[in-house]
Amino acid sequence: AVTVVDNLSTGHRMQVNPGARWVQLDLLAGDLEDTFAQGGFDIVYHLAAQTDVMMSVAAPDEDAEINVVGGIRLLELCRKYHVRKVIYSSSSAVFGEPDYLPIDEEHPIRPLCPYAASKHAFEHYLYLYGQLHGLNYTVLRYANAYGPRQDPRHEGGVVAIFAYRMLTG
């Protein structure tokens, strides 16, 4: 069974599949352990993040609190409750301005904003948890992900923004 945990800071409850177990809470709230204790999770797909680049520049400490500290709290629960694998939603922003296209895994990492730095910093924690605790993980560095029901009002949804503007003239 799938469990969805979200604080709904940018999402909507109606977008969650009705067949999934639903838990509304914040990664930083500290009460996520109850969900792990009940869940018996094999795989955690970690999508929780502060994604607004301008907010990360204005408040880098808040950005790091959510994207790094919140992630570490999640990793601790994964370790404690014997999660087999974490799939992490990182960002192609970690590369900064590309030296070449397409960008591959060998491309230099040169983040240009706190958001990108926090996403990359958490990747190092995944590596450490793999080394120290045997936690298996995969990092996906998305570039402008898009899909159904995406909100065209958020800066990261450039495809949804362009589609919305075309549809509204």
**134: which 2 tokens?**
């045997």
Are the C-beta atoms of residues 130 and 81 closer than 8 Å to each other?
Answer: no
* Active-site hit among 45, 100, 115, 127: 115
> What DSSP state is assigned to residue 43?
E
Query: What is the number of other CB atoms lying within 10 angstroms of the CB of residue 80?
Result: 12
**Closest listed residue to residue 122, CA positions, set 147, 154, 13, 111:** 111
Placement of tokens 């904003």 in the chain: 113
Task: Say whether 164 is catalytic.
Answer: no
Q: Which of the residues are catalytic?
A: 115
